[in-house]
Structure 1
């Protein structure tokens, strides 16, 4: 087995006295794990940070063997880990991607979208400029894994106009007319998830409430507490940033 590819570092776990097992997302071969000799060394620690772009070279004698991985830094985002809010969002999107995606399954759209979110965080550490992209990324994770939400028409009437809510059970959109009398049982659907544009903060938090509901229920079932802890830290810091 030999794979050489660009990748985004997702997770690093110590292994042995000096090494590390690294999981990274490649554009055409999905999530790949590998053992990095000396991965905990002073020279490699700054490279093996979640969110960093690398060139990876995975080699193994058989498909069942954990590959040896060598890495070359392409672009570092390690400096963002010293800033509380950028660090929180990088930690969350990396943890979500690592926990949700199976090994060796291609997700080129997720690779491109994750790169775009990380670029947005780096370009504008103020959350207002990337929070909407984060919600869209979470929606894309759901869709790519087969849990996409049906937001284009009302699940009750089939209407495409005046969509205002999401059913927390079906994930289907609900029009304002069909929701009459049941609004408190539904999740508000912010317009930017349908029409694009830059959302205000109430719409950002409404979108993140929708994605949290379905990520926790459908994707992170066996890893909910551990992985969602990173999201809880992010949401807490977002709320403090806009207070």
Structure 2
């Protein structure tokens, strides 16, 4: 079995004395792991950094084997990632969430393109928070937990949508919430693509999306713990407000 693709590195860990096992997100083959022979060498190790864009050739005797990768660097994102705390925290949460959420060897071509575009914004702190929020919404949609924010789940109204139902992920109006308002999640305008999207509103929106990752996605994955990188990213973003 053999294929070639391109993708970016999610993680790398040492394997034996000289090799590394890498986890990559590719356009055509989804999230995929494999061994890189000599991956700890001075020549290859600097290439295997999270976020690095790679040309990949995977080969295995049988399809279900872990197989081995040959890698060639296409683009490093190290300079952008280390340009500031927000950029580094952002890179870590993207790679951490993809590793957490995506099953191995299942293509997600549209999500791959969005993820690549997001990583290309690393270091642009004025654009990153909103782009990241939109990416999280796309990730929830891809996983089957997308939010429906078009109309009130209770009344069908399209005005004064200020809540999200934690059960259904649907918008709820002020009137529709009624006595249940204190049990609802906040629906800031930025989640519906409205307003100027200030960072404090984005941070509030990310707490809402975080609820669905923790209470819908994680249980569907066997209650795996959420990656700590996301909490660190939110903390870093909050410190910039």
Partner of 1:59: 59
Distance 1:240 1:195, change over 3 A: closer
Looking at structure 1, the residues matched to 198 and 188 of structure 2 have their Cα atoms a distance apart, in angstroms, of 9
- Residue 150 of structure 1: SS of its match in structure 2? coil
Partner of 1:30: 30
Q: 2:81·2:122 contact (CA, 8 Å) conserved in 1?
A: no
Q: Deviations 1:176-205 (Å, cap 9, x if unpaired)? A: 221244333212112222235651022101
- Residue 208 of structure 2: SS of its match in structure 1? helix
Distance 1:86 1:30, change over 3 A: same
Tell me the CA shift for residue 31 of structure 1.
0.8
Tell me the CA shift for residue 141 of structure 1.
1.3
Looking at structure 1, the residues matched to 17 and 65 of structure 2 have their Cα atoms a distance apart, in angstroms, of 20
Q: Deviations 1:34-82 (Å, cap 9, x if unpaired)? A: 1011212222222111111111110111112111101111110012343
Partner of 1:12: 12
Stretches (4+) displaced over 6 A: none
Looking at structure 2, the residues matched to 198 and 14 of structure 1 have their Cα atoms a distance apart, in angstroms, of 45
Partner of 2:2: 2
Q: Deviations 1:126-168 (Å, cap 9, x if unpaired)? A: 2x31111111111111111111122122111122333221112
What's the RMSD between the two structures over aligned residues? 1.7
Partner of 1:233: 232
Partner of 1:88: 89
**TM-score (structure 2 length as normaliser):** 0.92
Structure 1 portions without partners, runs of 5+: none
Give 1:170's match in structure 2, choosing from 162, 168, 171. Answer: 168
Distance 1:17 1:198, change over 3 A: farther
Pairs within 5 Å for 1:135-174: 135-174=133-172
Looking at structure 2, the residues matched to 149 and 77 of structure 1 have their Cα atoms a distance apart, in angstroms, of 31
Q: 1:216·1:224 contact (CA, 8 Å) conserved in 2?
A: no
Looking at structure 2, the residues matched to 141 and 182 of structure 1 have their Cα atoms a distance apart, in angstroms, of 28
Distance 1:49 1:223, change over 3 A: farther
Distance 1:198 1:48, change over 3 A: farther
Looking at structure 1, the residues matched to 240 and 174 of structure 2 have their Cα atoms a distance apart, in angstroms, of 32
User: Is 1:72–2:72 an aligned residue pair?
Assistant: yes
- Residue 163 of structure 2: SS of its match in structure 1? strand
